[in-house]
């Protein structure tokens, strides 16, 4: 089989407001200037069919459909990853994409993309491949290795095997947790997964691999951060602390790019003041908190 890789030679500029999955002209690999990573993130997208088992109202994926990632083309994934990392490490990638000098470093390799990555059939094998190639090329362990997941499939054995590989390569999970109420999760994430299931899966993740909680806060229909949502979230954190669940950090952020979902017109970023005040309340519980407004 002959693999033909497209190479972008224009002067497209990477910004935190543009996370286009095809900016590098590749199928699985894409560059991101990430607020949360604090520099260049080498993104990996298994969900090239724009399918996800959730539909978060702030999602920027166009034509999002309900479903799972398609079968992974492993030869293509490896070829693209090697080509991309080589371009960043030894080519003129940073010049072509006009990346500022302070960001000219690979902060992490992030498995994320256009849907829930753990839905890929061979997720565990893909994590191991990425870890092996990145280590061989000298990117790991100097850079981070991140799985960004909604956590809904952590109970599956192939996902747990993938987490073990992630842990072996020094990686971590960013576990999506946007609401601590069933009503809030139904509204924000369009998921029927209960709080009980979310807690079970969070415990599974944290027991296998370093895990951080990632929470997107939005002002929906002018309601801001309601007392019901805020108090439920704080009570949830108290519970996992009492249960001894090892959580590395809480990462709070709000929307920076337009949603591609029908609810887009009803949302706006939560104010920095509200975000900082909420972060302060979380810190009083003994958690480290990062805020991206």
What does the pLDDT look like over 31-73, one tens digit per residue? 988 665 567 999 999 999 999 999 999 999 999 999 999 999 9
**Rounded to whole angstroms, how far apart are CA atoms 215 and 250?**
8
144 falls within a domain: yes
189 falls within a domain: yes
Check whether 17 has a pLDDT greater than 60: no
228 falls within a domain: no
Q: How large a percentage of the chain has pLDDT more than 90?
A: 82
| Sign of the alpha-carbon torsion through 270, 234, 206, 57 | negative
Check whether 2 has a pLDDT greater than 60: no
Q: CB of 48 within 8 A of CB of 67?
A: no
Return the closest-CA partner of residue 72 out of 109, 118, 32. 118
| pLDDT value for 37 | 54
In sequence order, which residues have a C-beta less than 8 Å from that of residue 192 and are 6 or more positions away? 186
In sequence order, which residues have a C-beta less than 8 Å from that of residue 142 and are 6 or more positions away? none
18 falls within a domain: no
The enclosing domain of 39 has a CATH number of 3.20.20.70
24 falls within a domain: no
User: Which pTM does this prediction carry?
Assistant: 0.91
| Count of domains for the chain | 1
58 falls within a domain: yes
| pLDDT value for 25 | 83
Strands 39-45, 29-34: pairing kind: antiparallel
**Average pLDDT rounded to a whole number, residues 80-103:** 92
Three-class DSSP category at 109: strand
Question: What does the pLDDT look like over 229-267, one tens digit per residue?
Answer: 999 999 999 999 999 999 989 999 999 889 999 999 999
238 falls within a domain: no
253 falls within a domain: no
In sequence order, which residues have a C-beta less than 8 Å from that of residue 207 and are 6 or more positions away? 246
Domain of residue 58, residue span: 29-207
């Amino acid at each position: 089989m002959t693999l033909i890789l497209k190479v972008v030679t224009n002067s497209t500029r990477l910004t935190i407001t543009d996370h286009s999955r095809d900016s590098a002209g590749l199928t699985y690999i894409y560059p991101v200037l990430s607020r949360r990573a604090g520099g260049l993130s080498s993104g990996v997208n298994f969900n090239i069919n724009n399918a996800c088992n959730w539909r978060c109202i702030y999602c920027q994926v166009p034509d999002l459909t309900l479903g799972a990632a398609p079968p992974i083309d492993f030869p293509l994934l490896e070829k693209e990853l090697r080509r991309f990392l080589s371009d960043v490490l030894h080519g003129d990638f940073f010049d072509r994409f006009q990346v500022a000098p302070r960001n000219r470093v690979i902060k992490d390799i992030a498995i994320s993309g256009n849907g829930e990555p753990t839905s890929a059939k061979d997720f565990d094998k893909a994590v191991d491949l990425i870890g092996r190639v990145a280590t061989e090329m000298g990117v790991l362990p100097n850079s981070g290795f991140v799985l960004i997941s909604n956590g809904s499939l952590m109970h599956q054995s192939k996902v747990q095997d993938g987490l073990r590989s992630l842990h072996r390569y020094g990686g971590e999970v960013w576990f999506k947790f946007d609401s601590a109420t069933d009503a809030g999760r139904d509204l924000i994430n369009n998921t029927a997964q209960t709080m009980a299931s979310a807690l079970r899966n969070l415990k599974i993740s944290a027991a296998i691999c370093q895990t951080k909680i990632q929470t997107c806060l939005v002002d929906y229909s002018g309601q801001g951060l309601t007392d019901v949502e805020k108090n439920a979230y704080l009570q949830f954190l108290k519970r996992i602390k009492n249960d001894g669940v090892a959580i590395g950090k809480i990462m709070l952020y709000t929307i920076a790019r337009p949603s591609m979902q029908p609810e887009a017109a009803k949302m706006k970023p939560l104010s920095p003041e509200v975000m900082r005040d909420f972060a302060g309340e979380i810190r009083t519980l003994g958690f480290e908190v990062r805020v991206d407004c």
